[in-house]
A = this chain, B = another copy of it.
Amino acid sequence: MNLRQQKTMETKRKILTTAIKLFNEKGFSHVTVDEIIEKTSTSKGAFYNHFKSKHDIFLEKFKEIDHFYVNEILPKLKPLKTAEAKLKYFLYLEMEYIEKDLGWDVTRTIYEQELNTERESFFLDENRPLYHILKKIFEEGQKNGEFRQDLTSERLVVMLSRVIRGFLYDWSIKKGSFSLVDEHIELFNIVIEGLMKR
């Protein structure tokens, strides 16, 4: 890496860390791009050279969630015996991570961004680890007769994803005023019962 590339990367890093720090302090909507470039002694040109938009910085952070799925959650699921147990533990860890590490304002901002038709969607990317993990769990559960087999595992993932989104959306508009960890079981158990074979 030559000098120029080093400077470029340094600029990007500076903007990214400063922006995320400010977002955490004051909330996404109360931080302006002008403030970010002023605090980092850079410029509009630099900012938009590195990020497609103000929202884009957020995505950068949110994408970490997928590392979390693969690195933190997946290993913990291995020892569990039933697909149902895996699914429930997965959901628990996901909710815990979102509630404790991401927080509702980040979540809200992502959900808002996804509704913006001009920008590319993160949720619609079918290669997200989230979907792969869920699909694997459902396949396993269908094979051993735990889950219903009249729907494909893909459809089961779609159904569950919609419920998860509804739950997180509700949490977002309610500004994190209830606990994901505490309340998720009530909702997900209802859905999981509907997904099980009987």
A residues apposed to B, CB below 8 Å: 29, 108, 111-112, 114-118, 121, 123-124, 151, 155, 159, 161-167, 169-170, 172-175, 186-187, 189-195, 198
Contacts and interface: CB of A to CB of B under 8 A. Distances in A.
B166 A162 contact: yes
Copies of this protein in the assembly total 2
B159 A187 contact: yes
Contacts of A175: 117
A29 B118 CA distance: 10
Nearest to A192: B194
A159 to B, nearest CB: 5
A162 B159 contact: no
B123 A173 contact: yes
A112 to B, nearest CB: 4
Nearest to A115: B112
Q: Is the interface of A mostly helix, strand, loop or mixed?
A: helix
Contact of A115 (B118, B124, B162, B173): B173
19 contacts: A108-B115, A111-B115, A112-B115, A112-B116, A115-B173, A159-B190, A162-B163, A162-B166, A162-B167, A162-B170, A163-B166, A163-B191, A165-B166, A166-B169, A189-B194, A190-B191, A191-B194, A193-B194, A194-B194
Contacts of A108: 115, 117
Contacts of A121: 173
Contacts of A151: 186
A189 B174 CA distance: 27
A172 B169 CA distance: 13
A111 B117 CA distance: 13
A31 B174 CA distance: 29
A165 B121 CA distance: 18
